[in-house]
């Protein structure tokens, strides 16, 4: 494929998130909530004050319901660099609605330039809008070819919404970005951002089988002893406590708490329970929504969430 060839919609739609997120916007016009041409679309939802940008520290980690785990590995001003569980890397502004500045995946890399304020749309409030023209150069490793493409996006704070995910119920801002190529709408991304957590708790995009939910988040390094303490507390809590009641334990400066949730039986007959677990030390903290199943000997073992829900 020749260098600089324009990508069409069929090729663009095969680039999924986080690659979708990795677009570069080179020009932008920020529209305010009082725009006379289109009044804010107020959704029925909780009243929320303007929300500041999320903050990150090296070592911060988030895990999604599809098994994707992303860890902060570097911070340079507004730019945050991430590594996923497979060693792939990408970087971008802490403003997650803006595209990544670069990524490196097994089949492709991309480098981008951006001429747009890093704080676009923030502080979040109803009616904030931005229109973007996007340009990016993508290198396909398998073909050793460079591809250039250009499209346009329109993003806005669409309203507020209370959502329920595995980590709990949260009041969120709902953000939406629509993507256009040659005047046709070719895709859409939505995020539910919870100011109380400072994190996105749900995200979805055109072509996804289902929305992805945040199932774990943490900061700092807990170390192997933390899991030993957690396992003891988890065994007691899942075996003895009714749903909604918590169990807590502390050892070697580590505090573990578990709250069992719903109980269900898989198609193979295994008895399993959803749970919410928090581990904390003086320098680290992690909250995880997980699933554990009970063996015949009474031992509860954490299992893969995707496999457990498919059984």
Which pLDDT tens digit goes with each residue over 122-166?
999 999 999 888 788 989 988 888 988 888 888 999 999 999 999
Question: Looking at the predicted structure, is the pLDDT value of residue 20 above 70?
Answer: no
> Which pLDDT value is given to residue 43?
53
Mean pLDDT, rounded, for 39-64:
86
Q: What is the pLDDT of residue 234?
A: 93
171/54 Cα distance (integer angstroms)? 15
Q: For the chain, which domains are there?
A: 5-217 (2.40.360), 224-310 (no CATH)
Q: Distance between CA atoms of 184 and 96, rounded to whole angstroms?
A: 24
Q: What is the pLDDT of residue 31?
A: 32
What is the mean pLDDT of the segment spanning 164-171? Answer: 94
| pTM of this structure | 0.81
pLDDT confidence band for 115 (50 / 70 / 90): confident
Structure tokens that stand for 27 in this block: 């020009």
Tens-digit pLDDT profile for residues 83-99: 999 999 999 999 999 88
Q: Cα torsion for 117, 122, 125, 128, to the nearest 10°?
A: 10
What's the mean per-residue pLDDT of the chain? 84
Say which range, 13-17, 178-182, 263-267, 271-275, has the weakest mean pLDDT.
13-17
Q: Write out pLDDT tens, residues 204-243.
A: 998 888 999 999 999 988 888 888 999 999 999 999 999 9
Upstream peptide bond of 123 is cis (omega within 30 degrees of 0) = yes
Closest residue by Cα to residue 202 from 233, 231, 164: 164
Confidence of residue 310 (pLDDT cuts 50, 70, 90): low
Predicted local distance difference test score (pLDDT) of residue 36: 35
User: Over 70: is that where the pLDDT of 32 sits?
Assistant: no
Angle at 127 between CA 163 and CA 191, to 5 degrees: 35
CB-CB contact of 259 with 233 (8 Å):
no
Per-residue pLDDT band for 18 (boundaries 50, 70, 90) equals: very low
Question: Count of CB atoms within 10 A of residue 260's CB?
Answer: 24
Identify which of 257, 308, 262 has the alpha carbon closest to the alpha carbon of residue 287. 257
State the average pLDDT over residues 45-66.
Answer: 95
**Residue 116, SS3 per DSSP:** coil
Strands of the chain, DSSP E:
5-6, 25-31, 61-64, 69-76, 79-84, 89-93, 100-104, 108-111, 129-140, 145-165, 168-181, 184-194, 199-205, 212-219, 247-251, 254-265, 271-280, 285-294, 300-303
pLDDT at 199: 97
Please determine, for residue 7, whether its predicted confidence score (pLDDT) is greater than 50.
no
Mean pLDDT of 246-274: 91
| Mean pLDDT, rounded, for 5-14 | 36
Q: Which residues is 214 bridged to in the sheet?
A: 64
pLDDT band of residue 41 (cuts 50, 70, 90) is low
Which is nearest to 249 in space by CA: 236, 239, 238? 236
Two tokens, residue 121? 């749309």
Contact 69, 63 (CB under 8 A): yes
Residue 23 confidence class, pLDDT cut points 50, 70, 90: very low
| pLDDT at position 181 | 82
CB proximity list for 10: less than 8 A, separation 6 or greater: none
């Amino acid at each position: 494929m020749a260098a600089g060839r324009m990508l069409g919609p069929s090729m663009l739609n095969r680039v999924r998130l986080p690659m979708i997120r990795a677009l570069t916007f080179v020009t932008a016009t920020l529209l305010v909530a009082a725009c006379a041409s289109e009044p804010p679309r107020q959704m029925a939802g909780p009243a929320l004050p303007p929300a500041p940008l999320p903050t990150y520290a090296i070592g911060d980690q988030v895990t999604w319901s599809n098994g994707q785990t992303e860890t902060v590995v570097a911070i340079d001003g507004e730019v945050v660099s991430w590594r996923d569980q497979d060693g792939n890397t990408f970087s971008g502004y802490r403003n997650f609605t803006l595209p990544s500045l670069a990524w490196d995946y097994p089949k492709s890399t991309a480098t981008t330039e951006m001429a747009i304020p890093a704080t676009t749309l923030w502080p979040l409030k109803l009616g904030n809008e931005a229109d973007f023209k996007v340009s990016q150069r993508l290198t396909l490793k398998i073909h050793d070819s460079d591809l250039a493409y250009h499209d346009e996006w329109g993003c806005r704070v669409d309203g507020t919404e209370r959502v329920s995910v595995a980590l709990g119920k949260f009041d969120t801002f709902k953000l939406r970005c629509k993507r256009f190529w040659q005047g046709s709408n070719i895709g859409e991304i939505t995020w539910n951002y919870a100011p109380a957590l400072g994190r996105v708790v749900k995200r979805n995009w055109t072509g996804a089988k289902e929305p992805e939910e945040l199932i774990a988040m943490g900061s700092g390094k807990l170390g192997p002893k933390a899991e030993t303490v957690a396992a003891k507390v988890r065994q007691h809590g899942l075996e003895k406590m009714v749903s909604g009641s918590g169990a807590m334990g502390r050892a070697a400066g580590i505090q573990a708490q578990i709250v069992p949730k719903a109980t269900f039986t898989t198609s193979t007959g295994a008895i399993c329970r959803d749970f919410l677990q928090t581990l904390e030390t003086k320098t680290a903290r992690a909250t995880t929504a997980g699933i554990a199943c009970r063996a015949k000997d009474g031992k509860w073992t954490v299992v893969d969430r995707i496999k457990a829900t498919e059984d």
